[in-house]
Homo-oligomer: A and B are copies of this chain.
Amino acid sequence: MTHQPRILEVRTKILKKNDELARDLRERFQRAGVLVVNLVSSPGTGKTAFLQRTLTELLSACLRPAAIVGDLETDNDARRLATSGAPVRQIMTHGCCHLEAEMIEQHLDDWDLSKLDLLFIENVGNLVCPASWDLGESLRVVLLSVTEGEDKPLKYPGLFNTADLAVITKCDLAEACEFDRAKARDNIHAVRPGLTILETSAKRGDGMDQWYRLLHGELAHRSGGKST
């Protein structure tokens, strides 16, 4: 493409600035002892249902989770998530196809991070663009639903390459979709060998305990807990 050198130059500068801000955010989150989890996927993979169940479970385990959710338009997801009882903030990107570190920073105002144990960031539904934008998270989780097809990791390798964990969602629909779990796992591992894969259904609860154990394990690795 003839315009590539120019756009690449500008993109590189903007991404560099985002990376610097994300590094500052990461240090801030670590100082506050909050585990930050960035959830990325296509639209309709079920991030909100997965997160809603997660928030409810963590609250019942006397942890202090919060969430920031990004969408182009509407605050539907924030309202759904807030029914869990956890503090939730919506970022409306008005056309921007991903969240950026600066957007996250602007939505932390007047939140006392030291009073949180976990902060979930539900990214804009997009299996391409969020890959390049570090938000200062500790854990990037890519979700893939059984309805999307087993080939998506091969066709959209960027997000799978940069993820710390893959979660297969909507496993209650696996049979109806003729989902080939072995093939999906092989494709994820072809792109990212050794990546941990959880198979879940937020609707039925399958595999959710494994996810909660993983979060508890991550929290246990943090610096000796905080006073509530």
Question: How many chain copies does the complex carry?
Answer: 2
Which residue of chain B is the closest to A46 with respect to CB atoms? B149
Query: What is the CA–CA distance of A157 and B97 in the complex, to the nearest angstrom?
Result: 12
A8 to chain B, nearest CB (A): 10
Interface residue SS majority, chain A: loop
A72 touches B176 (CB 8 A): no
Chain A residues with a Cβ closer than 8 Å to the other chain, count: 44
A148 touches B102 (CB 8 A): no
Query: What is the CA–CA distance of A147 and B156 in the complex, to the nearest angstrom?
Result: 19
B10 touches A128 (CB 8 A): no
B149 touches A44 (CB 8 A): yes
Which residue of chain B is the closest to A131 with respect to CB atoms? B95
Measuring CB to CB, which residues of chain A are less than 8 angstroms from any residue of chain B?
1-3, 6-7, 10, 13-14, 17, 42-44, 71-74, 76-77, 95, 97, 100, 102-103, 124-129, 145, 147-149, 151-152, 154-158, 170, 173, 176-177
A-B contact pairs, 8 of them (CB 8 A): A3-B14, A42-B125, A44-B148, A44-B152, A72-B157, A76-B154, A125-B156, A126-B127
